[in-house]
Amino acid sequence: MAAHRYMPNELPGRLVGSRLYSVNFVYDYVQLQFDRPGGDLPILTCDAVPTVTVVNGTYPDGRAGYADALRSLITATVVSTEEATGTGLSLEFDTGSLALHPTRAELAGPEIATLTGFTDGQWMCWRPGEDSFEDLA
């Protein structure tokens, strides 16, 4: 059996229609938990903290109001996702967006993000220099 070739945005695209129901700030990373029609409970663990854009501005990690901006997306629904080399991973919500494309200086470890929690066992781990983060090699 041939190995499954990763297709950019295939797994993140499954978040479309999901609602963000939890934001967990953990020491040096953030976990975003979603509920998805059909019973999946995906979790996007961001080892590189995403930039948040909401109606009143764009908030990178460390800017005053960052946590409030991220929490304001709780109950928002994912309307689209994008994943590409040079831009990384982004989620568009009905009330804002998240962009995950750290600089080399912002990389805190070997992983950028991990998406898990699908009932069929599918998951993805993004690392610098691989897949949609090739430009961070």
pLDDT, tens digit (0-9, with 9 covering 90-100), for 69-91: 999 999 999 999 999 999 999 99
pLDDT of residue 1: 46
pLDDT of residue 14: 95
**Amino acid letter, 24:** N
Do 13 and 122 touch, CB atoms closer than 8 A? no
Closest CA to 113 of 101, 95, 96: 101
In which residue ranges of the chain is pLDDT below 70?
1-4
pLDDT of residue 7: 83
pLDDT, tens digit (0-9, with 9 covering 90-100), for 100-111: 999 988 888 899
Specify whether the backbone of 9 is left (phi greater than 0), alpha (psi in -120 to 50) or beta. left
- Show the tokens assigned to 62: 């460390």
Sheet of strand 78-84: strand arrangement: 57-59, 51-54, 96-100, 88-93, 78-84
Output DSSP code: residue 49: P
pTM: 0.93
